Amino acid sequence: DIQMTQSPSTLSASVGDRVTITCRTSESTFESLAWYQQKPGRAPKLLIYKASTLQGDVSSRFSGSGYGTEFTLTISSLQPDDFATYYCHHYGDYSPAFGPGTRVDIK
């Protein structure tokens, strides 16, 4: 099974900062990689799929890139609503997996 890592595990940032989160997989997932945002007590929200495709109602300040085993989620200018935990998700085969998560909190 593909193993997932995310870095950093926690990130402290201020409103307006540019934020980058990295997800690495132990084997190539090609471009079958998604990103979710989750707030406490809420269900995850799909932000990006196919490594870089923005889900329909998601703000353009979110962007994704990468291919194979290394992927990034970037928030161009952090907004108060963006403080949350972010998960990557490999879905390219019959052993999908989520990364351990990156918590973005207020500096």
Residue 48 contacts residue 54 (beta carbons within 8 Å): yes
- Kindly tell me which of 24 and 45 has the beta carbon lying closer to other proteins: 45
CB of 15 to other proteins, least distance (A): 26
Residue 21 contacts residue 72 (beta carbons within 8 Å): yes
Q: Which residues bind other proteins (CB under 8 A)?
A: 1, 32, 34, 36, 38, 42-46, 49, 55, 87, 89, 91-101
User: What phi and psi values does residue 80 have, to the nearest 5 degrees?
Assistant: -55, -30
CB of 87 to other proteins, least distance (A): 5
For every residue of 91-102, DSSP letters joined together read -SSSS-EE---E
- Kindly tell me which of 8 and 100 has the beta carbon lying closer to other proteins: 100
- Kindly tell me which of 16 and 41 has the beta carbon lying closer to other proteins: 41
Tokens of 24: 């690495």
